[in-house]
Amino acid sequence: MERKKLGLTCIGNTLAEDVFDEKGRRLLAAGTVINEKNLSDLQSRGIAEVSLEIEIAEESDLCRPVLKNTRTSSPSGINQIFRKG
């Protein structure tokens, strides 16, 4: 969860917590994906910050392309490093 100032960068993100107005009325529920209308409504009610869910990529998603590229390019790179002049 990340606390973030309400703005255009919030569009498309998911609320991690319910959003309430100053009287305790729930404006949006946790799990709601922020769109332009939600953003405008919250801003007009003076909401300055919201808590957003943070997506964390799985380790395999992050490492797989890097390892694939490293494996295909390493042998020639290593040969050049250790080649005798």
Domain count, the chain: 1
CATH number of 22's domain: 3.90.105.10
Whether the per-residue pLDDT at 28 is higher than 70: the answer is yes
Domain that holds residue 29: 2-82
Instruction: Report pLDDT for 55.
Output: 75
**Amino acid occupying residue 3:** R
The per-residue pLDDT for range 42-54, each reduced to its tens digit, is 999 999 999 999 8
Q: How would DSSP label each residue in 40-65? A: HHHHHTT--EEEE------HHHHHHH
What SS3 class is residue 70?
helix
